[in-house]
Each structure stands twice: as C-alpha cells, then as structure tokens.
Amino acid sequence: MQPRNSPYQSRARANFTRNRTQTTRNRSQLKHADIARFINKSVVTETVEAFVPQHRFSDFPIEQRLKDAIIRKGYTEPTPIQDRTIAHILRKADVVGIANTGTGKTAAFLIPLINKILVQQRERVLIIVPTRELAVQIAEELNGFARHLNVRGTVCVGGTGIGRQIQELRARPHFVIGTPGRLKDLLERKVLNLSEFRTAVLDEADRMLDMGFIKDMRRILSLLPTPRHTLFFSATISLEIKKLVGEFLTNPIEISVKTGDTAASVEQDIVRIPPGQTKLDVLQKLLTQPEFNKVLIFGRTKHGVEKLSKILISQGFRAESIHGNKLQGRRQKALDSFKRAQVQILVATDVAARGLDIDSVSHVINYDLPASHEDYIHRIGRTGRAGKRGKALTFIEHM
C-alpha cells in the first residue's frame, strides 16, 4: 500500500480539488441536457456488411509457438483492430490505435510484443494503464498467451503491498504493467529502471488524461530511452493526447476502427423517479425482475457506492462493490465474483467504466448521472458485448 502521505497522494488530492468544480458543472449540464441522448428504445435488427479480415493469425510472421498459444486460447480470426495493427507493430512502427472498448485491442498489442520478446529475450515492455483492474486484466491476458513461452510479467498498482512488487521487479520480468502512481513510487524508490525498456504502451490514454495523470505520463515517458517503440491506444484522441503523440511517437501510424459512440446492441432508456419515491425504491423493484440477472450499477462517489451495496445486501440481493477506497485484493475478488455470476449485482464508481471485459452483463444502470456524456458512453459499453444485446437505464429524478 502506498504511504499515507506520499507525494503521489498529495498530487492526486490536488488534481481532484482542481477538477471538482468542472466535474460538478458537467454533471449539472448533463442533468438538464436533452434526455433523448439517454434513449434508444427501438431495437432494430441491422444488416451490416460482415468484416472480412485481411489476415489470419497464421499469416503473421510470428513464432510458431506463439501461434500455437493463440490457437489454445481459442482465437480464430483477428478482430478489426488486431487485423490492422499487428503487422505494423511487428515491424516496430509507432502506432496510435483508436478503438471502442471491447474490440480486442489488448491482444492487438500483446501478440506482436510477445513475439518481439521471443525473438529478442532482452526486450522489456512497459504498459501504463489508468486503473488497477485493467492492469490485472491485461496481465491475465498476457498469461493466457505466454504461459508456456517463458515470458513473464508483473503488475505494479496501488492498493496492494509494494514489497512483493519490488521483489518481482528484481527478477526483471519482460512486461511491467502498472498505474502511473505506483510506477512513480517505484521510480522514486529506485527499484524500477526505465533505461531497460525500449517499448512502451499507453492503454486507455484518454482515461488517464481524464484522471489527471497527464504530467505523470509525460514524466514516465521522458525517462524511457530513445529510440523506442511506442504504442498509444485510446477510445478518443483529444488535443492533449495529440500533443503527447507529437512529443513521444515517431511518424506514428494512426489506425481507427471506432464504429460510433454507442453500440447498436445496447438499448438505452431513462427511468423517471416518480414523486414520493426514491431512486432506491425504483431500483429494488427493477432488480427483482428475472431479466435483471447480471447488473452493473454506477454511482458517483466511493461512499455512496459502498452504502448502496450494503443496503442491497441487507435486502437479500447478492451484491458486491468496487471503488477506490477498497484494497486491490478485495476489489479483484468483487470483480471476479461478478464475472463468475456468483453475485447478481456489482455497484461501482467509474473505475469500472473502461477497459474491463465482463461477459453477459444484462443491464447497466446509471444510478447517479455520469460526469460527462463520454463517461456515459463508456459506462453503457459494459453491456451489449460480443454480439449480445444489453440494456442501459439512466435514473432521472423529478425536476
């Protein structure tokens, strides 16, 4: 766990205070905005031209043992982002990949980077992500590919003991996957030497910008040696991200497979809270309906999320919570229980809004309004995945 009064926590508090007014203003604007943006009632069966990949995994010039690992994982054809980026990464081009969440971008960079390590055993890769959960998810994906390939990775995130991470870093793993705060802490302790890393990946770069990590990202990237191989993956590319790209990438290839703001497979609607009733009253009635079998509920604050989950548990619902005040072990246990359908409901802050791959979420409920429409898009992207349909409901209190 990070020291209570670490420099990173002080900076994080400063970032939070600085952004609080803007966040409140954004949420107020959302509340009074055209609520039609939360409504997409008609579920239309669309006929779209099927994606035909230009490559098969067997076509890529990668080690046969990696091809075998891809087959063991059950991958058959590349997704669009994989199809269009893997060849460029294999030839060590800098890449900016713009893709919706859930499009397979983790494998898009892991497959060619694992191959790079198989070819050059001394190669080391730094992957920077905004949240602990995303770091763990990438590590799990890495292990799925590299279990029999003698390619090792370690996760460096806050909310868990730093001693084990220091010990694992001393073994010089090929992949280091971490959040900016913990990576900076390890750098300050001089147990992480970035001069050994000539490949860097920034995943969910726009989310790190939203969370106030722009200075941390710049500092970490500046410590990497040059020339280096740098990859950016993001759902959106803001002006600030474009500046980062200009500073740290060399003649990057920009690849966009973004298909639009919201998936056609997500039915969106609002739930007006009737006078005399509370959001909790309405939520309880919804959750007793059989179709609400795997529900992700988003709240605004860590305290509010924890309180709501405890209320639901006291009323007999199988629920868990995930937010920044929980230790990493408890957060991961809650997430795993939800993924395995051991609990029906996961109540979360926006820490669960991006990057996480959770199968078969039947409903996303915006119990509290998101800070921005972009956050709304990422929240509802947790349902309607992998060809399945899902529903997103946004609670609107009486105005």
Domain ranges of the chain: 57-256, 261-396
Does residue 63 carry a pLDDT above 90? yes
Assigned fold of 57-256: Rossmann fold (3.40.50)
Strands 95-98 vs 363-366: parallel, antiparallel or unpaired:
unpaired
Which CATH fold topology does 261-396 show?
Rossmann fold (3.40.50)
- Structure tokens of 26? 């954004």
- pLDDT band for 208, please (50, 70, 90 cuts): confident
H-helix segments, 7-159 = 7-31, 64-72, 80-90, 105-119, 132-146
The segment with the largest mean pLDDT, out of 28-32, 94-98, 387-391, is: 94-98
pLDDT higher than 60, residue 20: no
Residue 371: exposure state from Cβ atoms within 10 A (0-12, 13-18, ≥19): buried
Q: How confident is the model at residue 328 (pLDDT cuts 50, 70, 90)?
A: confident
Residue 326, pLDDT score: 84
Cα 300 from Cα 279, distance rounded (Å): 14
∠ CA 21-26-29, rounded to 5°: 125
- pLDDT on residue 3: 41
30-39 residue pLDDT tens: 544 456 566 6
Structure tokens at 221: 């990237």
**C-alpha–C-alpha distance, residues 93 and 73, integer Å:** 26
- For the entire predicted model, the pTM comes to 0.72
The answer to whether residue 1 scores a pLDDT higher than 50 is: no
* Mean predicted confidence (pLDDT) in 219-243: 89
What does the pLDDT read at residue 5? 47
What integer pLDDT is reported at residue 262 of this predicted model?
55
The Cα–Cα gap between 372 and 302 comes to: 18
Query: At CA 54, angle to CA 50 and CA 56, rounded to 5?
Result: 100
Consecutive H or E run containing 177: strand 175-178
Q: From residue 283, give the alpha-carbon distance in Å to each of 160, 339, 382.
A: 33, 21, 19
Percent of the chain with pLDDT over 90: 53
CA nearest neighbour of 150 among 177, 167, 166, 173: 173
54 CB contacts (<8 Å, ≥6 apart)?
Answer: 83, 84
Same fold for the pair 57-256 and 261-396? yes
* Residue 149 confidence (pLDDT): 93
What average pLDDT does the chain have? 84
347: Cβ contacts below 8 Å, ≥ 6 apart: 297, 299, 305, 306, 308, 309, 312, 319, 320, 321, 322, 367
Give per-residue pLDDT as tens, 341-380.
999 999 999 877 776 778 889 999 999 998 877 788 878 8
The answer to which of 74-83, 164-173, 252-261, 388-397 has the lowest mean pLDDT is 252-261
For 261-317, write each residue's pLDDT tens digit: 556 678 899 999 999 999 999 999 999 999 999 999 999 999 999 999 999 999 999
What is the maximum span of the chain, computed from C-alpha positions, in angstroms?
A: 66
pLDDT digits (tens, 9 = 90+) for 167-204: 999 999 999 999 999 999 999 999 999 999 999 999 98
**Of 210 and 41, the one with more pLDDT:** 210
Q: How far apart are CA 88 and CA 84, in angstroms?
A: 8
